[in-house]
């Protein structure tokens, strides 16, 4: 009997993982709420094409969370954390390539004025745990800080 109960207990363990709250990009307010619960301030708005957009600020640096792969500006599947820096002299392509070669998670690119942008994509189409989403956001904040050190941003 004890073996049956142990077997039953172990067979139900994978169900506990599914019982955790899953979040996806279909409701920006849910993602904003998770980050607000962690003490971050966010504004829910829309981008130029009408897709959801979260705007926030970290230590004086404005950043955006774009929603992509949307159907009629809703039911989005992926998000992208993004920040841009308006630098007086811009950044060299070699320096951006150095970042991209040396660092993981977030990639740098340059606009037409050679100003750097940092982007980190996250596919949450089929849902991730709330903890995973918040952890990825915290990773983004860490990488953002590293990038600001890398470009000597004040």
pLDDT of the residue at 3: 56
Answer left, alpha or beta for residue 113, where phi above 0 means left and psi between -120 and 50 means alpha.
Answer: alpha
The helix (run of H) or strand (run of E) holding residue 80 is: strand 78-84
Helices (H), 28-108: 28-37, 93-102
Range 21-145: architecture per CATH? 2-Layer Sandwich (3.30)
The pTM of this model reads 0.85
HSE-CB for 50 with a 13 A CA cutoff: 6
pLDDT of the residue at 71: 94
pLDDT of the residue at 23: 95
pLDDT of the residue at 136: 97
pLDDT of the residue at 114: 98
How far apart are the C-alpha atoms of 123 and 132, rounded to whole Å?
12
Regions of the chain short of the pLDDT cut 70: 1-20
Domain ranges across the chain:
21-145
């Amino acid at each position: 009997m004890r073996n049956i109960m142990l077997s039953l207990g172990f067979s139900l363990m994978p169900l506990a993982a599914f019982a955790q709250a899953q979040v996806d990009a279909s409701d920006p307010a849910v993602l904003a709420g998770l980050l607000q619960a962690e003490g971050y301030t966010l504004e829910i708005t829309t981008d130029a094409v009408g897709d959801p957009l979260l705007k926030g600020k970290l230590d004086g640096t404005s950043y955006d969370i774009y929603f992509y792969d949307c159907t009629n500006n809703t039911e989005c599947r992926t998000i992208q954390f993004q920040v841009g820096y308006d630098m007086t002299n811009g950044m060299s392509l070699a320096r951006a390539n150095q970042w991209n070669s040396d660092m993981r998670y977030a990639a740098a690119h340059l606009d037409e004025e050679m100003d750097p942008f940092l982007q980190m994509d996250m596919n949450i189409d089929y849902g991730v745990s709330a903890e995973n989403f918040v952890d990825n956001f915290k990773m983004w904040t860490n990488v953002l800080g590293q990038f600001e050190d890398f470009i000597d941003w004040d």
